[in-house]
A and B are shown apart, each in its own frame.
Chain A
Amino acid sequence: MSLKAFHFVFIVASILMACGFAVWSFQNYAAPGGVRSDLVAGIVAALAAGGLVAYECYFLRKFKNVSFI
């Protein structure tokens, strides 16, 4: 597995983590005693997940000539 393939896997894991963090933050905000910073964190995490998806597409285009092995 080349660095390209490992980077692809790593960014997928980061996207999943960012989505999980967004859900965790929104849950905190919705719970009794939730504060505005939880809402902000959730929005930022969701945007980060979107940004990482865009980056993953850019990365695959840029490295299309490099082997996954």
Chain B
Amino acid sequence: MEIPYTTEPRKDTGLFNAKLGIWLFLASEVMLFGALFSSYILLRIGAEPGAWPHGLLNVPLGTVNTIVLIVSSITVVMAWASLKMKNFGNFRKYQAVTLVCSLCFLGIKSYEYNDKFSHYEVQLNDGRVVDGHMVEKSADGFTIHGHYVDKAEAAKVTHAWQEHEIKHEEIKIKNSDVKYKENYGPWHNTYMAIYFTLTGLHALHVIGGALVIAFLWGPGASMWKTDPERYTNRIEVSGLFWHFVDLVWIFLFPVLYLL
């Protein structure tokens, strides 16, 4: 028995099966990310005045990642258009660029995550606090490239650009002088927790989307010979998911990196 509406649209919905399915799935995704964005807003407006951290993320890297995702969304559409014009060679080229973009995005995100896991806040026994990146470790201590935190000055930092004014230096610290030390992982504070949750979930979606695109680009492309219209529809559906993932980032970038 042949499955109906795999290529031609149903009369009542005006959509073929896969398009209806992906939009139902994207509706559930909107609820998932919507709940997390709402959590972010509530956590932020509930924070003590001046307590919400600023300038912790690398804006140039976030900008590069935004450009990478915008380019990938353009190549996904061009790949779909190439199939519509029966040009399979161009489709392959455009989707290859999309896959390279997805790998670039994940590479940059991994670098950013690694940067946060090597960024430490160290409280010393004398009450001072050192903030910076771990550059060297030895048996009796470690070296931080950072600065001593002046709590009065830190409270005045309300925007990212004020971080430019802080001078960094190499600070050698003995293990015996440390009261406690903690890196900027998701456990560090509320901001880092919501940052890792939102961007981690988004990165999982990028991986999922890239795997689907890679399958359709590689082994799944054999359908182009047997049922080109259905294959083109599959590319459109994967493109819709990819656009959703990109659109989430377009909201995430200003919310987490700029504001």
A41 within 8 A of B: yes
Mark out the residues of chain B between 63 and 79 whose CB falls within 8 Å of any chain A CB in the assembled complex: 63, 66-67, 70, 73-74, 76-77
Q: Determine which of A20, A38, A69 lies in contact with B254 in the assembled complex, contact meaning CB atoms within 8 Å.
A: A20
**Size class of the B contact interface (CB-based, 8 Å):** 20 to 34
- A20 contacts across to B, CB distance below 8 A: 254, 258
Verify B254–A17 contact, CB threshold 8 A.
yes
Q: CB distance A34 to B253 under 8 Å?
A: no
Most buried by B among A2, A10, A31, A33: A10
Give per-residue flags for B223-259: 1 if the beta carbon is below 8 A from chain A beta carbons, else 0.
0000000000000100110011011001101100010
Residues of A within 8 A of B253 (CB): 17
B198 CB within 8 Å of chain A: no
Point out residues on B near A: beta carbons under 8 Å: 14-15, 19, 23, 59, 63, 66-67, 70, 73-74, 76-77, 80-81, 84, 159-162, 164-165, 236, 239-240, 243-244, 246-247, 250-251, 253-254, 258
Give me the interface of A with B, judged by CB distance under 8 Å: 1-4, 6-7, 9-10, 13-14, 17, 20-21, 24, 28, 31, 33-35, 38, 41, 48, 52, 55, 59, 62-63, 66, 69
